[in-house]
Each structure stands twice: as structure tokens, then as C-alpha cells.
Amino acid sequence: MRVEEVVKAIKDKFGLEVENPYPRRLRVKIPVDGKSDEERRQVLRDLLQYAKEIEFQHMSFITCVDFIKEGRFELNYGLWSYTIPTMLVVKYDLDRENPKHITVVDIWKPAKIWEQEVHEMFGVEFEGNPRSFEPYVLEDWDSIPPLRKDFDPVQYLKEHPMQGAGYDPLPYANLVEKNLEQPTVQETGGDEGANS
């Protein structure tokens, strides 16, 4: 199957326009069009399933983009084909206030870890992927997900002065007084002091 045929097949089956902005890249956006979340999720899952059946062998990534002014998250599902070497990116819009979504792990296994990452960095909940609720790289995280646009890292460091010490001179006042004795070599006997 060639690239033009993939574009035509997706258009025929789902009625979605596939962009081909530059060589080796295809983009398809799942529009809102007044449809309910369930219908759009079903379109997304059918499209990912169909892409797997035709020409695409590898899920490269799931990423999330925070469009804070428009109040939406955009999920990007990247599928790579080794045979026609081309990347197909499927774009899906989520409500930013209530980011609940459905997993695609049963179709694409690599989604397990990508969804885990998106959950940790953006707080999107993937129903049906229990691993996505486990921490991914952050340990003991106690704030809103760090890659959201309304997360303020400078404010976070002010609340965590031990971590942010170094550019802000204030935290030093809170540090414990250090014992400033000069360290000496342990003496095990001998005729003269060993303070060298």
C-alpha cells in the first residue's frame, strides 16, 4: 500500500481528511462535530485498529499538548510504518477540565508506558490501563502535574527551598547550623600531632 492509498483508505472508511504536510508524515485529526465522547473514542480506537491492520507496525509515541487558552488537551498518537516509511499522527482533543480518556493498550501494547507518562505529566486518566496510575519518573510528587501550562516551576521551588536553593538566597536562613570544626586526622598514637 502506498501513501496515497493509505490517505484514500482512511478517507473512504472514516470520512476523515488526512493531511500530508511534508514527505513521510501524515496527520489526521478526529473532529468534535458535536459528537459525544463515546462516539469519538470509538472512532479513535477503530482508526488505530485499522491502521494496525493496513500498514503501520509500530507505535512510536503518545504525547499530550496543553492548549490552556482553548481549554483542551491534544493527544497525539504516532504510528510508524516500516514498509512505506511514513509516520501517521492521529490527533484527539480532550476537555482540559475533566481529562478522562480510554486506553488503547489492547490494540497497541506500547501504549502502556506512553499513557503512564502522559498521566504523570498532564494528569490525563486512561480508563482501563491500571499501570497508568503508577508513578513513572517522579517520586513523591506533591503538586499538580508538572508539564501543565499552569504549573509554575519557580513557585514550586519557592515552596521547596531545599530543592531550589542556589538562585534564591532566602533559604539559607532556614538551614541547620553546620558544625564548622576543622576535621582532623584520627590519631592512633605516635609522637607528634597529625594535623596535616
**Could you say which of 16, 54, 102, 157 contacts another protein (CB under 8 A)?**
157
- In the region spanning residues 126 to 155, those forming contacts with another protein, defined by CB under 8 A, are 137-140, 143, 146, 151, 153-154
Q: Which three cell numbers stand for residue 191?
A: 609522637
CB atoms within 10 A of CB 27: 15
Beta-sheet strands, E only, within 54-136: 58-67, 72-81, 86-95, 100-102, 125-127
Question: Does residue 164 interact with another protein by CB under 8 A?
Answer: yes
187: contact with another protein by CB under 8 A: yes
Cβ 106 to another protein, closest distance in Å? Answer: 31
Choose which of 50, 61, 80, 156 interacts with another protein (CB under 8 A).
156
Count of residues binding another protein (CB under 8 A)? 36
- Nearer Cβ to another protein, position 102 or 165? 165
C-alpha to C-alpha distance for 103 and 107, rounded to whole angstroms: 9
Question: Shortest CA distance to 121 belongs to which of 137, 105, 110, 109?
Answer: 137
CA distances from 41 to 21, 101, 110, 120 (A): 25, 8, 19, 21
Q: Tell whether residue 196 is a contact of another protein (CB under 8 A).
A: yes
Query: Cβ closer to another protein: 46 or 187?
Result: 187
> Virtual CA dihedral for 46, 52, 56, 62, nearest 10 degrees?
60
Question: Does residue number 175 form part of the binding site for another protein (CB under 8 A)?
Answer: yes
Q: Is 63 in the site for another protein (CB under 8 A)?
A: no
Residues in contact with another protein by CB under 8 A are: 137-140, 143, 146, 151, 153-154, 156-157, 160, 162-167, 175-179, 181, 183-185, 187-194, 196
